[in-house]
A and B are shown apart, each in its own frame.
Chain A
């Protein structure tokens, strides 16, 4: 695709439910990143993929959070048993090989946990 695509753009869920957020990176971008941005805050690093492997998962807030990437392309971020503090915009970004720091971001998935 022309850019990084994320879905859903908005998700409202009840506390305790599981949610899946999807990211489709720019074709040919081998690096994929997930960040979280709460209202008025900076970007909190969650996880980084190089190909299908995740060299760095250190930012995942708890074991309720997991992510996978298949075929070196689409990635899914799963949040189990959602809590109100999980409410945020989840941003996905991809970059050209090698990872250069020149990230291209998607429009984000806004998650609201009631």
Chain B
């Protein structure tokens, strides 16, 4: 079992629709969860972080975390063609206290295509 799993896609949605991206992780002790966006030929960039159960909204993006189910998701409302990219889920296995932080493990990424 991979430590962080995502459907590779591609996920295709029409412009204006909601895109739903999902991620599961295996380490129940994981503390922090992140979504990165990677455009083709570019490096990843952070778009959302979430640390506690529930929803976190930032503009058109909503991250959802369910630690009991070991599940993280990213919703993109009013999807735009410019949202077309690969979305990487990342999980930090280390604690964030006492200045200790562990390695960040990435999933394989889900390719999103938003059609005009």
Contact = CB atoms under 8 A, between A and B. Distances in A.
A101 B101 contact: yes
Interface residues of B, number: 25
Contacts of B88: 42-43
Interface residues of A, number: 27
A74 interface: no
A101 B106 contact: no
A42 B102 contact: no
Contacts of B94: 99
A35 B105 CA distance: 10
Given A42-B109, A105-B43, A98 B99 contact: yes
Nearest to B107: A42
A99 B102 contact: yes
A65 interface: no
A103 B46 contact: yes
15 contacts: A31-B101, A35-B106, A41-B108, A42-B109, A43-B106, A45-B105, A45-B106, A55-B102, A95-B101, A97-B99, A99-B96, A100-B49, A101-B49, A103-B44, A103-B104
